[in-house]
Amino acid sequence: MSVPITLLGLLEREPSHGYDLKRDYDTFFGRGKQLPFGQVYATLGRLARDGKVIAGNAEPGDGPDRKRYAITETGRHDVDSWLAEPVEPEPHLQTVLFAKVTLALMLGKPAEAYLNMQRAAHIQRMQQLTELKRTGPLVDVLLADHALFHLEADLRWIDLTSARLNELAEAVKN
């Protein structure tokens, strides 16, 4: 998650203080990992320097920064461009699952047992996410859906790879 573009997007709704931006970021995008205040203000400072936001005058009140920030036309353009770009389809599997299966086969270790363990772990995670969907707010439901579809794709890959293990074992030995 890119913090600068997300803060810009939040500012496109309406001019806001750093505190409000942090609160909204944590609520919608933090997912348990809060954005430090320092990072919020450092990011806003860079965005102001680059002409993507304008900082208003300091307002009286507690806290380190009581400036209200507003998005500029350049900032809006950045948000539009970002929204118009598809995310790079990441080949998640090739990083860990693929490496584990291939190495297991290369080392003559039980790749199928590993795949079965992985399948079980995936299904358990899907059960947890499904439970979360039943009780959580819609924002959590959408995020859980995204995770569920990815896990489902992994599971299909696991099934297909299980069916191809003998073939794959031959390929990695040669």
The residues of the shown chain that bind another protein, judged by CB under 8 A, are: 112-113, 116-117, 119-124, 126-127, 129-130, 134, 148-149, 151-152, 155, 159, 163
H-helix or E-strand spanning residue 31: none
- Smallest gap from Cβ 128 to another protein, in A, equals 8
- Smallest gap from Cβ 91 to another protein, in A, equals 20
Cβ nearer to another protein, comparing 100 with 122: 122
Question: What is the sign of the dihedral through the CA atoms of 140, 47, 56 and 72?
Answer: negative
- Smallest gap from Cβ 141 to another protein, in A, equals 10
Cβ nearer to another protein, comparing 82 with 114: 114
In whole angstroms, how large is the CA radius of gyration of the chain? 23
H-helix or E-strand spanning residue 17: strand 16-17
Residue 122 · residue 86 · CB < 8 Å: no
